[in-house]
Structure 1
Amino acid sequence: MEDIRNELDKLEEYLKIKPLYWDFDKGEFVWIDTRLIPWKELYRSTKDYHRVAQAIKEMEIRGAPAIGVSAAYGLALATIYSNASKVDDLLKDVKEAYNVLASTRPTAYNLFWALNRLWNVILSNYEKNDLEDIKQNVLNEAHRVYIEDIKNNVNMGKYGSKIIENNSRIITHCNTGALATAGFGTALGVIRYAFYEGKSIHVYADETRPLLQGARLTIWELKKEGIPSTLVVDGASGLLFSKNMADLAIVGADRITLTGHVANKIGTFNLALAANYHKKPFYVAAPTSTVHPTENPNDIVIEERSQDEVTNIMGKLNITVDGTEAFNPAFDITPPEIVEGIITEKGIVKKPYLNNFKALLYGRQ
């Protein structure tokens, strides 16, 4: 445990914004409630995996990497606080928690990747028949998921900053910063890293309807970092590119297939089309834990959320006629043909994505 805490200490320099973490003294999971930003910065905590599942489902915690890390800690909580006296009973408790957590957000692949990773730790230690050893190993694995996410984000920043020239003007969509990860960020992490290198940049942040993650969260992060930024409506990208006010777009992802199909916040496809029409590069930044090892984009499940998110603003103001029906898909899928490159912690993947992802992930084509 000491080596894990030492490694965490070394990463503190990258955590100017700390969206979630493990409280070693209290033995509980802590996160910032992103629904309340920018009006309030409120941290919540729990020892109950049901509460973690609720936080993911209700978007107190959001962003695929953050969901994955939180699910890992949720499963760890279920493991270490189980009252089971036998390993078989522990497995039953943890499997129940697995199912609860897995049911929260269907599109974010990091969720399932993290849950399977911890579940495999339990199975690999099953024969030891040592409850306390299993519990400690599962918690340690959750810590590793957390640590790796931060490291991966920083490495994405190093690779991705190479595509950002000095004086670049960048459009981004939704929130892909520290608040969407264990810390630092994916697409916004790339932008952040370029800024740290001393490059002069300007960010156009889409407001990102209906929950305004761009207006509320991305601008909040950019202001904290002092990165020059402008908030724009979601439909502004075509105009920005046509007037030569923007040079490229960088977004995150909730799920990517081996073929390079990218599921991300609704409106991403529109941004990619605008960039492609104006011959501007459209990049995606995501860790390899977001890559779903399938060649079939139809395997991507698109989450549909409540109509109420569309018909009112953050539950505060109705904006349409009572009884109006609304369609609220949380994500869309951008085809690989219009994606310039996918920035990962292992490098930038280019077309043909199927061959290059197989080479990157499995060492073969």
Structure 2
Amino acid sequence: MAGAPNNVVFFDTTLRDGEQSPGCSMTEAEKLRMAHALEDLGVDIMEAGFAISSEGDFQAIQRIAREIRRPVIASLARARREDIERAAASIEGAAKARIHTFLASSDIHLEFKLKMSREKALAQVGEMVALARTYVEDIEFSAEDATRTDMDYLCAMTQIAIEAGATTINLPDTTGYSTPEDYAAMYRVVYQRVLAGTPYADTVILSTHCHDDLGLAVANTLAGIEGGARQVECTINGIGERAGNAALEEIAAALRVRADRYKVESNIVLEKLYPTSQLLGETISFRPAPNKAIVGENAFAHEAGIHQHGMLANPLTYEIMTPASVGQPANKLVLGKHSGRAALRSRLAELGFVLPAEQLDAAYAAFTTLADKKKSIYDQDLVKLANQASGVEAADDAAQAAQV
């Protein structure tokens, strides 16, 4: 299939699809700061915005196009002349520029949203992709709501877009409706019917774009790769419309950890995943949930006693990657009511207390009683428990009493 067969291109849309979701809007300066972080992260294509949506977005795309030089800078446009002209103007200063244009392909979108016949939609795709190609050579076409589109019609629209000059074909699961099996099958069918045996087979790249309405965005993206897609569209922390987009950090980590299955590589610098996630959290109005995979604060934290014992013996017992491999701080043994003696002994040792077995038993008994009452156990609590168990606190109390 098109593109390097063992390389997956990362198309980041944090600054467009992510930024347009509630609570995620950014100023021009904030978008530029994120753009520099995304460049350092290693994304291949950066969708900088939707040029016609506002003057502010247009100016932000222009500035990013001028200052960010390594990635391709993409500007989104509906399959309309005015959109495409505005998108083209916004990326004039880019070292590598792409126009990303789209039109709905499903009957429900054509009938109720666009009030457009299938025939008119096909004609518009051909005309507008050809127009975009007069401005730049790198053209992406997205068949919006591809996963709810009649397959024959989807193939017809794809073929027209390619013949008009599209170099990337994106088949988005716009509503988060698809399942991994169906999503992978769609790519195989489109490739066989449209690309196989043609000159385009080695020049056109198929792309994924998945939303998380059923919690399947990352799973569907990985399935798309197995189906032959070689570009993945995603966002940092999975931000985006409704339930969000496929999370870049999860896709990148899955491809690295399960290289035995996917057998593809990317240019993402995994060690920068957590810092980039943190920067986005500082920029918008919320951070990832604590249990968010890869970048959540609890992603490498352990409280259950069995888990903590295993981690102390060998981290591979419960961690399939190291925190450092994704830029996270070292794993954390969180002491709570589910923790065991091994974790308590380890943490006390870090605090300078090496207790014999009887004193450790006493400290552990007091610890579990306290943990039932408090959600968080702090180091000062542990110091007090250790002193009580070792008799230090009792001796201090006796000395104070004698002085009185």
Q: TM-score range by the shorter chain?
A: under 0.3
Structure number with greater Rg is 2
TM-score when normalising by structure 1: 0.26
More strand by share: 1
